[in-house]
């Protein structure tokens, strides 16, 4: 039986879940932009897109050429469709308005255009992460404050992973669905329905080189995992760390696991490395929709009230029983 295309699935969502046609258009445009990014990423050195761009972003990080290109692709693709009131990107200091030539819509799009940039030049999977909020009523020129909504307000979230396959995972609040790019036809075809993350796991993901900087609850939890069957958990665990959040999260969506990027003592002023609005929130929405859990160690990520656009957050997400356990250690 032929697989459903992304378009057919979204039309089905319109009929069964009342998906707003403007949101369907947004998702189709983002999917087309993802194809363009996938094409550029796939060219690598042959496309002259590897290496540094020679600029830095608002995070003070050196930008890769593909960071800049991916951002440009998403800004251009989403400017003219009439469904957005504004956009915000990891790669841009403040919100980007809609050009006066085009009508405004009711949604706000937030994204990390190319997550995992440090992996681009070594041919390791990278990705795009995006989140959709409603623009506050009556706001036609959204400023930063319009974007500062808790993740529970998201109407849609997704990511694309540029790996052996180019694959998009999406949620509009009725479960998580995955679409694999058919390079022969250029269509995204439905390959994952109602994704479910196992509640238990034997696999954890953390950058263990930072262990000496972690807070005690994280040290306790990870040391118990490392103790294996001779320790309090009574079983061995495996570790993975891709250093592309999208790749690590996609593995967890596919077979379970726990992903952790805790705050650490290197910079006590920073609550973590990952950004709340366009990394933590969309991934938390997807993970919870797949039956997993996502906290900052103390509360659901989706309940965190943002104070600024590029705010960072500690992240513990994935298999519910493990996230609940490490979160409980923060209360001990």
Applying CB under 6 A, which part among 137-145, 217-225, 240-248, 317-325 lies near ligand AFP? 240-248
Per CB under 6 A, contacts with ligand AFP among 207-236 are 207
CA distance 115 to 135: 25
Per-residue contact string for residues 155-194; x = within reach of ligand AFP by CB under 6 A: ----------------------------------------
203 lies in the binding site for ligand AFP (CB under 6 A): no
70 lies in the binding site for ligand AFP (CB under 6 A): no
Nearer to ligand AFP, 34 or 172 (CB): 34
27 lies in the binding site for ligand AFP (CB under 6 A): no
Applying CB under 6 A, which part among 81-89, 97-105, 177-185, 239-247 lies near ligand AFP? 239-247
Do 3 and 189 meet the contact criterion of CB atoms below 8 Å apart? yes
Angle between helical axes of 281-289 and 245-255 (0-180°, round to 10) = 10
Locus of tokens 């929709």: 289
129 lies in the binding site for ligand AFP (CB under 6 A): no
Q: How far is the CB of 254 from ligand AFP (least distance, A)?
A: 17
Q: How far is the CB of 53 from ligand AFP (least distance, A)?
A: 13
Q: Widest CA span of the chain, in angstroms?
A: 66
63 lies in the binding site for ligand AFP (CB under 6 A): no
Nearer to ligand AFP, 55 or 194 (CB): 55
Applying CB under 6 A, among 89, 131, 187, 244 the residue interacting with ligand AFP is 244
Q: Which residues pair with 96 in a beta bridge?
A: 87
Cβ-based burial of 1 (10 A; exposed 0-12, middle 13-18, buried ≥19): exposed
CA distance 99 to 256: 42
Q: How far is the CB of 120 from ligand AFP (least distance, A)?
A: 8
Per-residue contact string for residues 96-115; x = within reach of ligand AFP by CB under 6 A: -------------------x
245 lies in the binding site for ligand AFP (CB under 6 A): yes
Nearer to ligand AFP, 207 or 328 (CB): 207
How many CA atoms lie less than 13 Å away from 159 in the CB half-sphere?
31
Applying CB under 6 A, among 10, 27, 274, 323 the residue interacting with ligand AFP is 274
Q: How far is the CB of 244 from ligand AFP (least distance, A)?
A: 5
57 lies in the binding site for ligand AFP (CB under 6 A): no
197 lies in the binding site for ligand AFP (CB under 6 A): no
118 lies in the binding site for ligand AFP (CB under 6 A): yes
306 lies in the binding site for ligand AFP (CB under 6 A): no
Applying CB under 6 A, among 63, 78, 117, 281 the residue interacting with ligand AFP is 117
116 lies in the binding site for ligand AFP (CB under 6 A): yes
Residues that bind ligand AFP (CB under 6 A): 61, 115-118, 207, 243-245, 261, 273-274
């Amino acid at each position: 039986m032929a697989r459903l295309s992304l378009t057919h699935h979204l039309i089905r969502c319109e009929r069964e879940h009342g998906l707003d046609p403007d949101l369907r258009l947004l998702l189709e445009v983002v999917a087309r932009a993802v194809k363009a990014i996938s094409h550029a990423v796939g060219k690598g050195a042959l496309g002259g897109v590897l290496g540094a761009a020679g600029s830095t972003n608002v995070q003070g990080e050196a930008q890769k050429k593909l960071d800049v290109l991916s951002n440009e692709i998403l800004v251009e693709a989403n400017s003219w469709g009439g469904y957005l009131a504004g956009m915000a990107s990891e790669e841009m200091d403040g919100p980007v308005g809609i050009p006066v030539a085009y009508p405004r819509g009711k949604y706000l799009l937030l994204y990390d255009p190319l997550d995992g940039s440090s992996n681009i030049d070594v041919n390791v999977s990278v990705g795009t992460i995006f989140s959709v909020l409603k623009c506050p009523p009556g706001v036609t020129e959204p400023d930063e404050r319009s974007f500062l909504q808790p993740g529970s307000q998201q109407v849609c979230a997704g990511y694309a992973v540029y790996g052996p396959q180019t694959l998009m995972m999406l949620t509009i609040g009725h479960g998580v669905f995955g679409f694999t790019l058919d390079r022969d036809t250029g269509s995204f075809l439905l390959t994952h329905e109602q994704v479910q993350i196992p509640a238990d796991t034997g696999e954890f993901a953390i950058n263990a080189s930072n262990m000496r900087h972690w807070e005690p609850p994280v040290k306790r939890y990870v040391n118990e995992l490392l103790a294996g069957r001779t320790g309090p958990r009574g079983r061995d665990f495996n570790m993975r760390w891709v250093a592309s959040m999208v790749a690590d999260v996609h593995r967890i969506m596919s077979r379970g696991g726990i992903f952790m990027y805790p705050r650490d003592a290197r910079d006590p002023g920073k609550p973590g490395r990952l950004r709340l609005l366009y990394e933590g929130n969309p991934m938390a929405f997807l993970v919870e929709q797949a039956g997993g859990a996502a906290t900052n160690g103390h509360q659901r990520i989706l309940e965190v009230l943002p104070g600024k656009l590029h705010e960072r957050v500690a992240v513990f997400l994935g298999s519910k029983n493990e996230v609940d356990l490490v979160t409980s250690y923060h209360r001990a």
